[in-house]
Chain A
């Protein structure tokens, strides 16, 4: 490649990222569900003609580094490239066809220019509900994927621009609140159309061959940058482990997540063989999910920003024999697959901190605190409310962890209380930080948060998918662990501690659910904390005593 191509390449990289951002805006502004429009639980991406990711929107890491896996699986095993035609929209939500969990519907559309496939655009959206035994499709008691909702194999929702109305009806009839779900699906389709238009414009301007060459070059550059980053990490074998509390079925049995990272020159191997076998409850992850955690960990650990694309993955090898918690087989349930991915990320960060201690943080809260309510009024009408809460971030070698802030595998915004109360018969009684929840240390872990819901409808069901009620987010370099999470039912003034996984619990009018989320781990020993920082924490009520818990 000539030198000028370096310049042209940056121009094209900007243009491809802008195309992903165009798709993102379309998705956001037109969506219906609080999950998408307020929590921002969706992603958009651009792939080359072979299905390798070349550009991403800045959304959800768990999605972004898995959509390519899904697309490659579809192309290699289900719908060969020769069957992708102009105007097709291919979608799936099947974890065993490269998807994540059933609520995540991934949709792809090829971009054709002068009859040639030049790229593929994709969107992933977490839908409010895809059926199954629990509202929000977060069945905490599921033991098979069949209980978790409607499973859509890779299939054409549109063929040559014509919608498959039977399939559309099929989806619509199998989900709760179909108007919202189908509305969000329509947003995905609109977003794909915008992506197609943008990429076709680039093909017109630069030529399909230049675009293809640029995509290859972008992948190669990111690979090379990734190799540089890895080469600067000291060679060695680094091991770390942590545990999930339980799978919700056998509530006494912790589930091990283990990783061995081997750094050798400019390549890196992540061996997950030491992790527990897959479990009965819905906290399994397919390799498509857990590899996303691996890729995210290494990208985040890089000492400089690397354009995130599939080239970054090339120097990374993942070893995970089938049938583990991180490489589950059909028909294991996977609704809360993000749980092992969060803990896996903490484990990978822990292992990497041995190699690059100056830039890795202590463990973060390490779970998506999912609460799904379905309220029903006597005069009819059911409402599904899915909330995903966060906790404290791990302290970093440079300072305290952020309190109540999205970290790691997800990146959810909170839903405004006034929006919830305008729409759903639920009252939020409080939303606050939890004092003393951050791990102690030279740098303190971020605080977890507390949120309380009161049910105002005649009856309701409640489902929770949580963790970190037993195993606390770990401190690093002598720092203390973050606090545990806690879930409480308050009925008639009596408090009842709930398990971290709750499936379809019946609630009565005026029942209160209180969630306290875990704090982040501390970094360095508490004895080294500056006196002014200790005084500041006390004055602001982030801590309540001089001696760390």
Chain B
């Protein structure tokens, strides 16, 4: 455990274009950042390049590095790009097609040729096992040796690398899955095996199967990547404690990641949400909405009373994934979103995107349809000579032509008005996404601070805030590597869940207590294995409850260690209150059912005290340029970010530039520097 006393902690977030690093030195609490290009062929090379580069730049040695916390999209990309191994699925006999039929409703109501969700294991590699478990976990047809042998024989002929096992009601009794898994391990030791009772022990067979299948497919992928990474670290004689970021924002050991890789699947945006939380706690904004806008997507996360929520199901490529993840709403709106007019009347912006390639017209790589970035450029908010800190020249002429042809001419507008319209629609879509995220929880945007980060968000933040009557915006330092900042704060986190559908009453308490005991034992063992001392182990129970008959549960924290009447009554009351807040009513006379008991087992890593390096304050004078503000061109000041100080506030309209992002401060907003180099803007109200 000597690693823990080493002073340097590094968070690495490998994205599609850049590998972002944030480095904490625990000796003085300083946090610094670094950025290198992502090496797509072998991402571990970029990771090592980044760490070596940072070591050189900031003067530490690899021997001083205690932890490397690693966020990776390797699992996500493997699914999206279908770089997946050959796999088989074993189900209860007669249910081999559940994976293909899914829930069979369509997304596009008016489609004449609907495309169902993708099927990742084809029909000829889905096998039925003769067995049947009931909803109460009783074996109606017990699994026997010949049945297992038939499946093993079939699997051995399939030339597969990995197998998923998902039997009906395995969440209620896993003995059949366990028996088959043991037989596979004994007879076909080269296969990796994923069982539904381990990956997703919760009711609803399609969602559980989908999650288990994704886990099985990702096991060889993630294991292969982690092996590659381990070898690279060995070559470099670099031996930090490596931890991998999960979808719930916590980290886990490489062993856990290799066994349950589905837990990494939606980890991409979780760093951003965690960073938003850290920032909100830092600045004292206990109610904040974090927005991360890049080239193609806009992620919204909500900090509510100093906490972010974890949801238990999400999806990737239309496939349900049932693992805990940080609650994030993503819409297809980014700098690359395409603007179109049809029939000279209907204007839309997005969700189609020009993506990173060819990208907006102004990138000059062959894009022909005008995008949000083109509109920002045409209205002077972006500087054609200072994009990505001047590393990429933008083609304003091309953008103008495209905007004219595709938008201005059909609408009978001039180019300025057309571009302003594109931004107006974009801002309204961004605002709508935020509003829905808050609405779902019964929250009012006016009580929130907007936290704006990501490369493309800060030119829209003021307009979006005004749309929502939000009065305060925080623009964090290093907005473009901000997700890595969230990773730096992560703790080890394991999620456990157990389903048992029954009335939530006094009679359920012994069952609950027994379930909780088992889960607690498993969790302690897992955290001990991670080398976490008992005093740093934090076990948080919660229970999913619903009114009898409802299909969707609310997760209510179980705040005591007791499972007695008093604890029951407190949890029940909390459920009624949550239901009322979210859905505007509660029925205290109704029967309440329990569905799933959950446990988040947290191993606290030492908390970085977090002192970002204050950028050197230059008393630079602003330059100025022509920007389209409220329907007219005006000459407004352009500041370097470093020039904004705590003392000297600036008033909109103004532009604030840094290397990887640009901030547009609208009229009526006042901007100043706050602690740690972050900027905060306050709305001053409209002039008469």
Q: Which residues of A contact B (CB under 8 A)?
A: 3-4, 6-8, 10-11, 14-15, 18, 21-22, 25-26, 28-34, 37-38, 40, 58-61, 64, 179-180, 183, 186, 190, 193-194, 221, 224-225, 228, 296, 299-302, 304-305, 307-308, 349, 359-361, 390, 393, 396, 398-399, 401-407, 411-414, 416-419, 421-422, 427, 429-433, 449, 452, 539-542
Which of A7, A300, A427 counts the most chain B CB atoms within 10 A? A7
Which of A34, A40, A190, A225 makes the CB contact (< 8 A) with B105? Answer: A40
- Cβ-Cβ contact count across A and B, 8 Å cutoff: 206
A452 contact set on B, CB distance < 8 A: 94
- Chain B: which residue is nearest A304 at the CB level? B342
B436 contact set on A, CB distance < 8 A: 18, 21-22
Given the contacts A30-B583, A37-B550, A419-B204, A405 and B104 also touching, CB distance less than 8 Å: yes
Q: Are A6 and B105 in contact, with the CB atoms below 8 A?
A: no
Does B439 count as interface, using CB distance less than 8 angstroms? yes
Q: Are A225 and B114 in contact, with the CB atoms below 8 A?
A: no
B122 contact set on A, CB distance < 8 A: 540
Q: What CA separation (Å) do A416 and B205 show in the bound complex?
A: 6
Q: Are B203 and A416 in contact, with the CB atoms below 8 A?
A: yes
Q: Lowest 7 A-B CB distances belong to which pairs?
A: A32-B549, A37-B551, A430-B94, A7-B421, A396-B113, A413-B105, A11-B428
Q: Are B412 and A3 in contact, with the CB atoms below 8 A?
A: yes
Does B688 count as interface, using CB distance less than 8 angstroms? no
Q: What CA separation (Å) do A411 and B108 show in the bound complex?
A: 10
Does B135 count as interface, using CB distance less than 8 angstroms? yes
Given the contacts A25-B440, A183-B547, A540-B123, A432 and B425 also touching, CB distance less than 8 Å: no
Q: What CA separation (Å) do A541 and B343 show in the bound complex?
A: 46
- Chain B: which residue is nearest A359 at the CB level? B112
Taking the nearest CB of chain A, how far is it from the CB of B376, in angstroms? Answer: 16
Which of B171, B420, B425, B582 counts the most chain A CB atoms within 10 A? B425
Which of B103, B109, B421, B435 makes the CB contact (< 8 A) with A6? Answer: B421
Q: Are A10 and B348 in contact, with the CB atoms below 8 A?
A: yes
Does B347 count as interface, using CB distance less than 8 angstroms? yes
Q: What CA separation (Å) do A28 and B552 show in the bound complex?
A: 8
Does B49 count as interface, using CB distance less than 8 angstroms? no
B398-451 residues at the A interface, CB under 8 angstroms: 411-413, 417, 420-421, 424-425, 428-429, 432, 435-436, 439-440
Q: Are A402 and B343 in contact, with the CB atoms below 8 A?
A: no
Q: What CA separation (Å) do A34 and B425 show in the bound complex?
A: 38
Which of B207, B425, B550 makes the CB contact (< 8 A) with A7? Answer: B425
Q: Are B106 and A541 in contact, with the CB atoms below 8 A?
A: no
Q: Are B421 and A417 in contact, with the CB atoms below 8 A?
A: no
Which of B101, B114, B421, B501 makes the CB contact (< 8 A) with A449? Answer: B101
Taking the nearest CB of chain B, how far is it from the CB of A381, in angstroms? Answer: 13
A40 contact set on B, CB distance < 8 A: 105
Q: Are A433 and B100 in contact, with the CB atoms below 8 A?
A: yes
Taking the nearest CB of chain A, how far is it from the CB of B475, in angstroms? Answer: 25
Q: Are B584 and A194 in contact, with the CB atoms below 8 A?
A: yes
Q: Are B345 and A299 in contact, with the CB atoms below 8 A?
A: no
Taking the nearest CB of chain A, how far is it from the CB of B167, in angstroms? Answer: 11
The interface bits of chain B over 151-174 (1 if a CB of A lies within 8 angstroms of the residue's CB, else 0) are: 000000000000000001101000
Taking the nearest CB of chain A, how far is it from the CB of B150, in angstroms? Answer: 17
B590 contact set on A, CB distance < 8 A: 179, 183
- Chain B: which residue is nearest A397 at the CB level? B113
Q: Are B101 and A414 in contact, with the CB atoms below 8 A?
A: yes
B110 contact set on A, CB distance < 8 A: 61, 296, 299-300, 302, 305, 308
A413 contact set on B, CB distance < 8 A: 103-105
Q: What CA separation (Å) do A421 and B440 show in the bound complex?
A: 30
Taking the nearest CB of chain A, how far is it from the CB of B269, in angstroms? Answer: 21
B134 contact set on A, CB distance < 8 A: 421, 427
Q: Are A6 and B550 in contact, with the CB atoms below 8 A?
A: no
Does B95 count as interface, using CB distance less than 8 angstroms? yes
Q: Are A224 and B345 in contact, with the CB atoms below 8 A?
A: yes
Does B97 count as interface, using CB distance less than 8 angstroms? yes
Q: Are A418 and B103 in contact, with the CB atoms below 8 A?
A: no
Q: Are B169 and A418 in contact, with the CB atoms below 8 A?
A: yes
Q: What CA separation (Å) do A433 and B116 show in the bound complex?
A: 14
Q: Are A433 and B101 in contact, with the CB atoms below 8 A?
A: yes
Q: What CA separation (Å) do A4 and B97 show in the bound complex?
A: 52
Q: Are A361 and B104 in contact, with the CB atoms below 8 A?
A: no
Does B206 count as interface, using CB distance less than 8 angstroms? yes
Q: Are B106 and A431 in contact, with the CB atoms below 8 A?
A: no
Which of A361, A418, A433 makes the CB contact (< 8 A) with B204? Answer: A418
Q: Are B113 and A361 in contact, with the CB atoms below 8 A?
A: yes
Q: Are A431 and B95 in contact, with the CB atoms below 8 A?
A: yes
Q: Are A30 and B550 in contact, with the CB atoms below 8 A?
A: yes
Taking the nearest CB of chain B, how far is it from the CB of A62, in angstroms? Answer: 11
The interface bits of chain B over 320-364 (1 if a CB of A lies within 8 angstroms of the residue's CB, else 0) are: 000000000000000000000011011110000000000000000
Q: Are B96 and A432 in contact, with the CB atoms below 8 A?
A: yes
Does B318 count as interface, using CB distance less than 8 angstroms? no
Which of A61, A418, A449 makes the CB contact (< 8 A) with B205? Answer: A418
- Chain A: which residue is nearest B428 at the CB level? A11
Does B98 count as interface, using CB distance less than 8 angstroms? yes
A29 contact set on B, CB distance < 8 A: 550, 552, 582-583
B95 contact set on A, CB distance < 8 A: 417, 430-432
A and B contact pairs by CB, cutoff 8 A, 26 listed: A3-B413, A4-B417, A10-B348, A11-B424, A21-B436, A29-B550, A29-B582, A64-B109, A180-B549, A186-B585, A190-B585, A225-B343, A300-B112, A307-B346, A349-B112, A393-B114, A403-B100, A403-B101, A406-B114, A407-B106, A411-B105, A414-B101, A416-B206, A431-B94, A432-B101, A433-B123
Q: What CA separation (Å) do A393 and B106 show in the bound complex?
A: 12
Q: What CA separation (Å) do A433 and B428 show in the bound complex?
A: 44
The interface bits of chain B over 125-138 (1 if a CB of A lies within 8 angstroms of the residue's CB, else 0) are: 00000000011000
Taking the nearest CB of chain B, how far is it from the CB of A429, in angstroms? Answer: 6
Q: What CA separation (Å) do A361 and B583 show in the bound complex?
A: 41
Which of B100, B111, B347, B552 makes the CB contact (< 8 A) with A37? Answer: B552
Q: Are B104 and A414 in contact, with the CB atoms below 8 A?
A: yes
B551 contact set on A, CB distance < 8 A: 31, 34, 37-38, 419
Does B607 count as interface, using CB distance less than 8 angstroms? no
Does B82 count as interface, using CB distance less than 8 angstroms? no
Q: What CA separation (Å) do A404 and B169 show in the bound complex?
A: 23
Q: What CA separation (Å) do A540 and B123 show in the bound complex?
A: 5
Which of B94, B107, B109 makes the CB contact (< 8 A) with A61? Answer: B109
The interface bits of chain B over 536-579 (1 if a CB of A lies within 8 angstroms of the residue's CB, else 0) are: 00000000000111111000000000000000000000000001
The interface bits of chain B over 387-406 (1 if a CB of A lies within 8 angstroms of the residue's CB, else 0) are: 00000000000000000000
Given the contacts A11-B425, A29-B583, A359-B112, A221 and B346 also touching, CB distance less than 8 Å: yes
Does B57 count as interface, using CB distance less than 8 angstroms? no
Q: What CA separation (Å) do A283 and B421 show in the bound complex?
A: 50
Q: What CA separation (Å) do A396 and B432 show in the bound complex?
A: 35
Q: Are B583 and A26 in contact, with the CB atoms below 8 A?
A: yes
Q: Are A10 and B347 in contact, with the CB atoms below 8 A?
A: yes
**Given contact pairs A7-B424, A419-B204, A540-B123, a sample of 6 additional A-B residue pairs in the complex whose CB atoms are under 8 Å apart:** A4-B417, A4-B421, A11-B428, A37-B550, A422-B135, A432-B95
Q: What CA separation (Å) do A454 and B628 show in the bound complex?
A: 70
B440 contact set on A, CB distance < 8 A: 25
